[in-house]
Amino acid sequence: MRKQLLILTAFLSIVNLHAQDIFIQAGTNITSYDAVINQPVSHTPPDYRVGTGDFYEIGFSPKCSVKNGPIQNFTYLVSLTYNEFSTEASKDVYRYAWKTSYIGLQNVIEYDFFETRAGVKLSLNAGLNAATIIKGDQFINNVFYDFKTNEDFSGNTMKGIVGFNSTYPVSEYMTCNLGCNYSKAYNNIINSDFTQLTINTFQFKFGLHYLLKEKRSRSGFNPK
């Protein structure tokens, strides 16, 4: 827990120094696992089913990310993420359930391709998330195992992300957003039952973006 608090403190310090706006998001992950088993061809893998988990994100847009010219519709977003990935499986007389929690650093490029006069924006995004496991629960026929240090799930997990987002202004300094992402997380493992574990996730999210005071003053707005 101390390590996670230090990471959060360092991230918030960077936000305070370099952000032009900050945002928070939350939502739901719908997850399925794909596992390549390091066994002979005759080995039958378990029957995996989708599971759900929570998603939380806090981040910022660096001051240098908004520019004039042909790239003015692009925005660079940096964030700290918390994701829960869960799934279930069955094979023969056995029932399995996995519930994992990951903390990660996410980098995303967002492109605004449509905007109405009312300020509603539609955008596409793509990026990468580097994460590490902080909690892992496994249930086999209702018997609990803690596998946070299990090599099948340990190490850094790289996740590629693509998505769609819509934003709407709720005040002069705040916008709300609603969107969805699709991601694939890969964890290549050596000397394990899995030669590769892939986590496929559909993510539905809602969030708020807040414009910081420094940018407001530069825009020429002077509050009364």
The b-or-e profile of 21-59 (16+ CB within 10 A means b, else e) is bbbebebbbebbbebeeeeeeeeeebebeebebebbbbb
Asked whether residue 224 is domain-assigned, the answer is no
E strand segments, the chain:
19-37, 47-62, 74-91, 94-115, 121-140, 143-146, 156-169, 174-188, 194-211
Asked whether residue 81 is domain-assigned, the answer is yes
Q: Over the chain (224 residues), what is each successive 10-residue block's mean pLDDT?
A: 53 54 93 70 68 92 59 86 88 82 93 92 95 84 72 73 95 93 76 65 94 54 42
Residue identified by tokens 């020429």 is: 220
Domains in the chain: how many in total? 1
CA–CA distance, 182 with 5 (Å, rounded to integer): 28
Residue 195: predicted pLDDT: 57
Question: Can you name the residues that pair with 87 across neighbouring β-strands?
Answer: 50, 98
Contact yes or no for 108/161 (Cβ under 8 A) = yes
Q: Which of 7, 8, 20, 5 is nearest to 60 (CA)?
A: 20
pTM: 0.78
For residue 191, the domain's CATH number is 2.40.160.20
Asked whether residue 114 is domain-assigned, the answer is yes
Residue 158: predicted pLDDT: 87
What's the domain range around 194?
2-218
Residue identified by tokens 């086999």 is: 140
> Which residue type sits at 23?
F
